């Protein structure tokens, strides 16, 4: 099935993200992951439902156009291109991502799911994507890269929501998109304040703050 291929590509992007040192590459891969997830409902045979098609189009527009535009604007203002010294090295991050993916498969296998559900593979993929986003958040120094981690975390939540799309389509997806909008704008404000205060996006400088 095409949806299985997309899930496999999403898992592949997780490994690419944790091993990417160039910030532009990490942004591009996160955007690709978001667009793939936006297309996923259409590959599940749900294109007959107009509201789901609208939701998928909105997700693709947000993840494939709005977010890259915000990132391009931030990158133009801040002259950084690489995550030079992450808290956790790239090789270790890659191994942790593999471990998290394996644990996600084990956990999903032990969770109760409706027998024969077509979205059973979504659960381990969503857990693995959530873990990857969290790993990026805690292991990277640059605020922009941490925003990428937040987006990957949101992608995992979005993927988990797709398991309920037929039962609660608009409620689940509207909430996820709203959360995504709020997160992007809040993190944009944080990035701007860090840049103005420290002339850098290295969150290690936050230790210089004093009362």
Residue-wise pLDDT tens digits, 110-126:
776 665 555 568 889 99
Nearest Cα to 146, choosing from 100, 198, 95, 87? 87
**According to the model, what pLDDT value does residue 40 have?**
87
Q: Which residues pair with 142 in a beta bridge?
A: 202
CA trace torsion 188, 134, 3, 91 (10° rounding): 110
**According to the model, what pLDDT value does residue 207 have?**
56
Spatial distance between the Cα atoms of 48 and 174, rounded to a whole number of angstroms: 19
Spatial distance between the Cα atoms of 159 and 22, rounded to a whole number of angstroms: 26
Query: What are the residue ranges of helices labelled H in 44-166?
Result: 50-61, 67-77, 90-110, 122-139, 143-161
pTM of the model as a whole: 0.81
For the chain, the structural domain boundaries read: 2-208
**According to the model, what pLDDT value does residue 36 have?**
92
Q: Which residues of the chain have pLDDT under 50?
A: 211
Tens-digit pLDDT profile for residues 3-47? 889 999 999 999 999 999 898 899 899 989 989 988 888 887 766
What is the three-state SS of 134-166?
HHHHHHCCEHHHHHHHHHHHHHHHHHHHHHHCC
Helix (H, G, I), strand (E, B) or coil at 22: strand
**According to the model, what pLDDT value does residue 6 have?**
92
């Amino acid at each position: 099935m095409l949806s299985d291929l997309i899930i496999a590509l999403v898992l592949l992007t997780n490994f690419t993200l944790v091993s990417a040192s160039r910030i532009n590459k990490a942004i591009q891969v996160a955007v690709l992951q978001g667009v793939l997830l936006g297309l996923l409902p259409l590959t599940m045979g749900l294109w007959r439902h107009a509201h789901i098609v609208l939701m998928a189009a909105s997700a693709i527009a947000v993840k494939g156009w709005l977010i890259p535009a915000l990132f391009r604007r931030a990158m133009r203002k801040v002259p950084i291109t690489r995550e030079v010294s992450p808290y956790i090295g790239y090789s270790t991050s890659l191994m942790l991502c593999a471990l998290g993916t394996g644990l996600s498969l084990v956990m999903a296998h032990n969770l109760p799911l409706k027998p024969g559900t077509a979205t059973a593979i979504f659960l381990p993929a969503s857990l693995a994507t959530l873990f990857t986003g969290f790993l990026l958040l805690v292991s990277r120094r640059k605020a922009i890269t941490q925003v990428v981690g937040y987006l990957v975390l949101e992608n995992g939540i979005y993927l988990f929501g797709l398991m309920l799309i037929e039962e609660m389509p608009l409620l689940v997806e509207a909430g996820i998109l709203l959360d995504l909008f709020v997160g992007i704008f809040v993190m944009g404000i944080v990035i701007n304040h860090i840049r103005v205060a420290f002339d850098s996006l290295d969150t290690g400088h936050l230790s210089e703050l004093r009362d």
